Amino acid sequence: MPITAHSTPNIALIKYWGNRNEELRLPMADSLSITLDSPTVEITIDHADTLAVESYEIDGTKKILTEKQLTRFAKHLELTKGYLEILDLAAAIPASVSIVVRSHIPPSIGLASSAAVFSCLAKAYAGLIQPMKELTLEETSVIARLGSGSAARSIFGGFATLDAGEGTDIDTACARQIAPESHWHLHDIVIVPNHDEKKIGSTEGHALAGTSPHFAARIEAIRTRRQHECIDAVLKRDFEKLQAVVEEDALNMHHVMETSTPSLKYLSNDTHRILRDIIALRETEHLPVLYTMDAGPTVHLICPDEAVAAVRAFAHAQNGCTVYETKIGEGSKLL
Ligand code: DP6
């Protein structure tokens, strides 16, 4: 019986950057994100003799997957089988699977599709295993992490952390929910300045993190203070505190990226202009809005209900930019 799951991207408030084990995507430090309610990815999997992956765009056109993308799915299946063996579930997954990905993520909007895809695929694998054992959401998040680190957090709705853990065992890092989506109605107004493909993707970027002289201090700050401050701000719905720690962490991650060898410069002049303008606007209008950027020039403006209209108007006034509106969502689901 084919199994279909759906999932969505997330936006990190405390960023995951750098691994202690690249193959298993075991992060160096904790991270925290908001799971978004759109755009969605849908994946159908079924038993097969050999691995077959098909992917379709928003308009139904078939995407030609690169060798690198196909290898990533194969590697993910291999690691997932290894993890299921540890759970005594080796027999629960077939020799191979057919995977059909239907992505509703506009390619141009710079929202992490790998987080949505691998959280969705992990959920689908969990569905396939269900007749033998109901995996916990934490176990499902480990499977998601094996495909893309940040995907672990999209297993959960609302606010989720990826807890780094310790050691090199496959299950030492997993995600958990700290508050459901009903806790705080936050919106993410996404401003995409340009549509250039990323020069260096996250997977390659994580491997360079350790070359920055500022990486050790970043990990130390997250471990001793930032993650804790961010969790506290979320639980108390303290927007001012959230803004301070989220912006500090995003700028710090980009500082680490820019000072690594080779230097990773993801932010563009447009990014910096948008940041200057939103800072000026929120000062004059006392708007609760914060900014954050992942591995690209896209600016995420996160705000509560009362600021949405003003932030939306600001976003649409940015010349030559694409705007995408999304909000806190409920995480991966079996359909
Ligand atoms: C900057 O999860 O995309 O978005 O495991 O190689 O897929 P892979 O990396 P990925 O890294 C996320 C980087 C980030 C920060 C974050 O989402 O926490």
pLDDT in tens, 42-99: 999 999 999 999 999 888 899 999 999 999 999 999 999 999 999 999 888 888 999 9
Residue 172, helix vs strand vs coil: coil
Q: pTM for the complete prediction? A: 0.97
Q: Tokens 């308009």 appear where?
A: 59
CA of residue 15 to ligand 1 center, whole Å: 8
Q: Which protein residues are within 6 Å of ligand 1, measured from CB?
A: 12, 15-17, 25, 31, 112, 114-115, 148-150, 202-203, 206, 294-295
Ligand 1 pocket check: which of 150, 218, 246 to mutate, most ligand atoms within 8 Å of Cβ? 150
Residues 6+ apart with CB under 8 A from 198: 266, 295, 296
CA of residue 283 to ligand 1 center, whole Å: 31
What are the tens digits of pLDDT across the range 243-271? 999 999 999 999 999 999 999 999 999 99
Q: Look at the chain and count its residues.
A: 335
Average pLDDT over residues 119-127: 98
Residue 14 CA: distances (Å) to CA of 17, 146, 293: 10, 20, 11
Note the pLDDT of residue 195. 64
Note the pLDDT of residue 60. 87
Note the pLDDT of residue 198. 62
Which ligand 1 atom lies nearest to the CA of residue 19? 5
Note the pLDDT of residue 200. 87
**Among 149, 127, 131, 153, which residue's Cα sits nearest to residue 43?**
127
Helices (H), the chain: 67-86, 113-129, 137-145, 202-208, 215-221, 227-236, 239-258, 269-285, 308-316
Note the pLDDT of residue 199. 76
CA of residue 112 to ligand 1 center, whole Å: 8
Strand order in the sheet with 299-304: 290-292, 299-304, 186-192, 322-327
Note the pLDDT of residue 196. 67
What are the tens digits of pLDDT across the range 277-331? 999 999 999 999 999 999 999 999 999 999 999 999 999 999 999 999 999 999 9
